[in-house]
Structure 1
């Protein structure tokens, strides 16, 4: 649990002092939230006064930047940590994967988040739940909630809505951090900030879609379950072999895509079927219980996919659990 917050500890050390995190403070219950007076949609849970500088911005400092961070942990862990007087670190806002927003430092005050005093005095810091190195944390709800905060503060303080002024923590001069990382979709985020949206796109590939589905002869064909998508579906015995069924998509642009799967749910089918998503950061595997939620679209998550015409999603046979693995239909939607 302590390791989960190590990037916050490193940020505190970069600010100017070492701290120790105890299990008791990590598990502390946050103060009951009130409404924020700076930004209506946010809850107000104040950080410890030991973790930021009282100020009167923009009288004493101009606010020129917004800095985007990733917590390397959970929404609640960041809220708890910023309330700990030993943390010596804070941010103005914290955003959850589900789009909830908590404000912890008033915009007029200086949060300790950038590891650079000049940038601390001139910026609004926004933390985002999740991990830089993992797919699936930067959700549509999070992008929308964060972009709404940025629209608010840029309007209020006259900050240009461009990448010179809305930056990642990794772009702060002297930064030793990598957040928000390559999985953060800057193109889409800035479109949301500026009120533009990417072109809509969705594509569905079924196991019968010509030229878009491939599977070896080890995969049988069945129409047993009425929960199937289309006329039939494919099935195979689980085995530790590289013999995936693949779905090919013509991905229009490198961007974020919601990946959904359809399968029939039958008692005796596999409870841990591995779906493989080919992302810009490498293959990501999501396990799905195919004994539940059949006959409808089930979301695997939102992932960054590269542009091109290629096998983007697969159903693997490589699982230790018993029961047929099922390959029926997959849908991608640009978000």
Structure 2
């Protein structure tokens, strides 16, 4: 391990345990706009004071990491309750130097060695935000270091989806090997639709709601489970039911 880890700080805002959910994701964040000159110590103090009822499991920069919430507990970082229950949040130095990226990637590798092939997301994959800034998309930005290298090698700009089993490709997508959005489409090519369908099924994403007689309460429960994604995806898939369902979701989550 090339970084030191500090366990002497505790976030105030978190929930003990994960309400029966298993950890599936790592969500990458940045502390704030670099122009505001945020610091490692200041970020830790923010979470220790309650940080606007937010928290993260880890705060990381070049050579050092602080753990503020235990892996087995739920930090308030993703802006999405189900993603909170199923993820580990890492707050990163927004300057995103090579040394910062090396430490963040090593921490991610260590967490995956401990918890299995967790999918790597950026905060903006979970809710509408500009975070994680320079780290997005994290699988591409961190690629040279996630592979265990020094970062001198450049990530490939093009890639061909490997031949063979679609389930193996779905496994690779869930590990974060194919990025997100347009990058994933480009790299999977003609196999994108079939592989994405398997990924969606494994993640429990549902289908669009019926156009007549919807059970809004059931739809709200499905949204909270993560079945309808976030942001524009949720709006598109819920259609005319979006506002009513979202209002129920907000009420259920106490927003």
TM-score, L = length of structure 2: 0.52
Change (3 A) 1:123 1:47: same
Which of these residues, 106, 109, 134, is aligned with residue 70 of structure 2? 106
Change (3 A) 1:87 1:183: closer
Q: Structure 1: state its 5+ residue gaps.
A: 1-39, 131-136, 202-251, 255-335
Change (3 A) 1:114 1:179: same
Change (3 A) 1:199 1:152: closer
Question: 2:226 aligns to what?
Answer: none
Alpha-carbon distance in 1 for matches of 2:151, 2:107: 20
Change (3 A) 1:183 1:155: closer
Alpha-carbon distance in 2 for matches of 1:113, 1:200: 31
Q: Which runs of structure 2 are paired with 1:100-139 in the superposition (5 Å)?
A: 100-130=64-94, 137-139=95-97
The count of aligned residue pairs is: 149
Is the contact between residue 96 and residue 134 of structure 2 (CA under 8 Å) also seen in structure 1?
Answer: no
Question: 2:130 aligns to what?
Answer: 178
Offset at residue 188 of structure 1 (A): 4.5
Change (3 A) 1:182 1:199: closer
Offset at residue 85 of structure 1 (A): 3.5
Q: Structure 2: state its 5+ residue gaps.
A: 33-37, 158-255
Question: 1:53 aligns to what?
Answer: 15
Offset at residue 190 of structure 1 (A): 2.5
Is the contact between residue 68 and residue 169 of structure 1 (CA under 8 Å) also seen in structure 2?
Answer: yes
Is the contact between residue 188 and residue 197 of structure 1 (CA under 8 Å) also seen in structure 2?
Answer: no
1:157 aligns with 2:111: no
Offset at residue 198 of structure 1 (A): 5.9
1:68 aligns with 2:32: no
Offset at residue 61 of structure 1 (A): 1.8
Change (3 A) 1:61 1:189: same
CA deviation vs aligned residue, 1:206-227 (integer Å, no higher than 9, x gap) = xxxxxxxxxxxxxxxxxxxxxx
Question: 1:191 aligns to what?
Answer: 144
After superposition, the CA RMSD in angstroms is 2.7
SS in 1 for 2:66: strand
Offset at residue 90 of structure 1 (A): 0.5
Query: Greater relative contact order: 1 or 2 (C-alpha under 8 angstroms, separation 6 or more)?
Result: 2
SS in 1 for 2:133: coil
Question: 1:323 aligns to what?
Answer: none
Alpha-carbon distance in 2 for matches of 1:86, 1:181: 20
1:89 aligns with 2:47: no
Offset at residue 197 of structure 1 (A): 5.9
Alpha-carbon distance in 1 for matches of 2:51, 2:104: 27
Q: Higher helix proportion, which one? A: 2
The structure 1 segments of at least 4 consecutive aligned residues displaced by more than 6 Å after TM superposition are none
Offset at residue 87 of structure 1 (A): 3.0
